[in-house]
């Protein structure tokens, strides 16, 4: 059985982060960011555009190609009060299907200034390609600290087109600033494709098309999976121990071809770009483990403590991914769609990955726990080095290449 992490005090994953070390804006050029390298117990630094020279030979990079949506919608009441509706995820509908709707869809949303929305509907108009489009929002019941909101609109445009024009890109709250026009481009990866995230997979923000071509030309394999990042990624661990923290759920999609290619690459380095990619690859492994126990599961859902509780069911990565492929074959599926609540913490044994490209994370965050599971307490040395050597922190900050011990 894996070590039980439930008694880990989150205070062990705190560190001082001065406000001035948080990067409020990106660098002018994506790949000019600094890169901290941790390998074989040693720490060094370079710049991100040197990545092809620093990766292990025959490495496969796995990217998350989710796209950040303009999730913040603002409505002004006749009284002058402004209500913010923050779209989190479609309500009881696949993400892609919700974005294709052309008249109505329902979303789970945060509501800012909710007390001012007594009853009734909210309405606003936007102009798209010289046409006036009317948007009506009505609130259903609460779900936890969020609400179900119904949207109806005119004009025959898709919800994807509607929110692109009507909404504002949701920057992380710790930036303490409103989104600017430049954020529409810079808070997306250059390979963003599938809409659905309310936060960027920020480790990918450093890549340029030129750098991606260079990696390909030098023989590195690349794969693209999808995990839609939810607002819960910013949720701090507020309990004293992580056993009382409820991990957020995120939706994942990985193709049959992804799984086959990763299977063929096992034994050679697999380096995910970002913690969301880590969670997708490792969650797929645990779904394969669950299928050994219950071969006729209806869908993929990995719970946060599954790896620590599935005693005696640990199987090889090869067998697990083969289980997933067999399950997909039986259902005629080309894509595995599911969700994961996986919490990776010290004591976790990585099954698929051999390293990680990531940014610097907030103190007391589950993302810092994930890093510690990979390199142990050396995360403290790395973060101290970064603080002492003028690295920029968090979403628009610099990056790290951590190679598994």
3-state secondary structure 28-48: CCHHHCEEEEEECCEEEEEEH
* pLDDT > 50? residue 29: yes
Q: At what angle do helices 317-331 and 256-265 cross, to 10 degrees?
A: 160
pLDDT of amino acid 95: 86
Mean pLDDT throughout 219-233?
88
Under the banding of pLDDT at 50, 70 and 90, the label for residue 151 is very high
Residue 253 pLDDT greater than 50, yes or no = yes
Question: Phi first, then psi: what are they for 165, rounded to 5°?
Answer: -85, -35
- Rounded CA-CA distance 199/69 in Å is 8
**Averaged pLDDT of the chain:** 93
Distance CA 88, CA 250 (A): 11
Residues 6+ apart with CB under 8 A from 78: none
pLDDT confidence of residue 257:
97
383: nearest Cα among 396, 398, 373, 366: 398
8 A C-beta contact, residue 292 and residue 313: yes
**pLDDT for 57-114, tens place per residue?**
999 999 999 999 999 999 999 888 999 999 999 998 888 899 999 999 999 999 999 8
pLDDT at 1 over 50: no
- Could you tell me what percent of the chain has a pLDDT over 70? 98
Residue 311 in this model has a pLDDT that exceeds 80? no
What does the pLDDT read at residue 149?
A: 96
128 band by pLDDT with thresholds 50, 70 and 90: confident
With a CB cutoff of 8 Å and minimum separation 6, the contacts of 82 are 74, 75, 76, 113
User: What are the Cα distances from residue 25, in Å, to 22, 372, 390, 396?
Assistant: 9, 27, 15, 6
pLDDT at 405 over 80: no
Assigned CATH class of 10-67+187-403: alpha beta
Lowest mean pLDDT among 2-6, 334-338, 342-346: 2-6
Q: Which residues of 56-74 are buried (b: 16+ CB within 10 A; e: fewer)?
A: beebbbbbbbbbbbbbbbe
Rounded Cα distance between 110 and 69, Å, is: 15
pLDDT digits (tens, 9 = 90+) for 348-364: 999 999 999 999 999 99
Residue 404's pLDDT band (cuts 50, 70, 90): confident
* Measured CA distances, 195 to 220, 260, 301, 336 (Å): 26, 24, 21, 17
Strand pairing report for 146-153 and 399-403: unpaired
Q: So what's the pLDDT on residue 22?
A: 97
Does the structure show a pLDDT above 70 at 224? yes
How confident is residue 3, by pLDDT bands cut at 50, 70 and 90? low
Per-domain residue ranges of the chain:
10-67+187-403, 71-168
Task: Please give the share of the chain, as a percent, with pLDDT higher than 90.
Answer: 83
Express each pLDDT in 230-248 by its tens digit: 777 767 788 999 999 988 8
Beta strands in 12-130 (DSSP E): 34-39, 42-47, 60-64, 66-68, 72-76, 82-90, 104-112, 121-128
* End-to-end Cα, the chain, rounded Å: 21
User: Above 90 in pLDDT, residue 251?
Assistant: no
Among 4-13, 45-54, 180-189, 304-313, which is the least confidently predicted range?
Answer: 304-313
Comparing 198 with 3, the larger pLDDT belongs to 198
Considering only residues 234 and 337, tell me which one the structure prediction assigns the higher pLDDT. 337
The arithmetic mean of pLDDT across residues 28-36, rounded, is 97
The 3-state DSSP class for residue 100 equals helix
pLDDT of residue 234: 66
Mean pLDDT for 157-167 is: 93
Q: Torsion-angle region of residue 140: left (phi > 0), alpha (psi -120 to 50) or beta? A: beta
Region 127-153: mean pLDDT is 92
Number of H helices, E strands in the chain: 11, 18
């Amino acid at each position: 059985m894996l070590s039980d992490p439930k008694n880990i005090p989150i205070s062990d994953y705190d560190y001082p982060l001065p406000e001035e070390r948080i990067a409020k804006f990106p660098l002018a050029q994506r790949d000019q960011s600094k890169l901290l390298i941790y390998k074989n117990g040693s720490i060094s630094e370079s710049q991100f555009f040197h990545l092809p020279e620093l990766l292990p030979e025959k490495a496969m990079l796995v990217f998350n190609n989710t796209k950040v949506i303009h999730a913040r919608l603002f409505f002004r009441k006749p009284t002058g009060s402004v209500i913010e509706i923050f779209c989190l995820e479609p309500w009881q509908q696949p993400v892609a299907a919700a974005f294709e709707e052309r008249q109505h869809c329902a979303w789970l949303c945060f509501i800012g200034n909710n007390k001012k929305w007594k009853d009734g509907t909210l309405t606003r108009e936007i102009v798209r390609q010289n046409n006036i489009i009317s948007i009506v929002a009505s609130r259903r019941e609460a779900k936890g600290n969020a609400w179900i909101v119904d949207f109806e609109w005119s004009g025959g445009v898709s919800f994807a087109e509607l929110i692109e024009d009507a909404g504002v890109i949701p920057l992380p709250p710790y930036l303490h600033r409103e989104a600017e026009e430049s954020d529409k481009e810079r808070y997306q990866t250059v390979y963003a494709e599938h809409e659905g995230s309310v936060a960027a997979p920020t480790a990918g923000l450093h890549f340029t098309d030129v750098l991606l071509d260079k990696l390909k030309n030098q023989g590195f394999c690349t794969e693209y999976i999808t995990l839609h990042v939810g607002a819960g990624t910013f949720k701090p661990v507020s309990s004293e121990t992580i056993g009382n923290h409820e991990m957020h759920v995120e939706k994942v999609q990985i193709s049959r071809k992804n799984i086959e290619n990763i299977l063929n690459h096992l034994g050679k380095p697999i380096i995910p770009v970002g913690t969301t990619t880590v969670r997708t690859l490792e969650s797929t492994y645990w779904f394969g483990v669950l299928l050994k126990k219950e071969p006729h599961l209806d869908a993929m859902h990995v719970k946060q403590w599954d790896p620590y509780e599935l005693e005696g069911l640990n199987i090889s990565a090869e067998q697990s991914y083969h289980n997933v492929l067999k399950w997909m074959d039986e259902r005629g599926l080309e894509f595995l769609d599911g969700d994961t609540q996986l919490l990776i913490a010290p004591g976790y044994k990585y099954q698929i990955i051999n390293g990680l490209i990531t940014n610097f994370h907030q103190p007391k965050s589950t993302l810092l726990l994930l890093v510690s599971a990979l390199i142990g307490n050396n995360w403290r040395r790395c973060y101290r080095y970064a603080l002492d050597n003028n690295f920029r922190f968090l979403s628009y900050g610099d990056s790290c290449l951590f190679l598994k011990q």
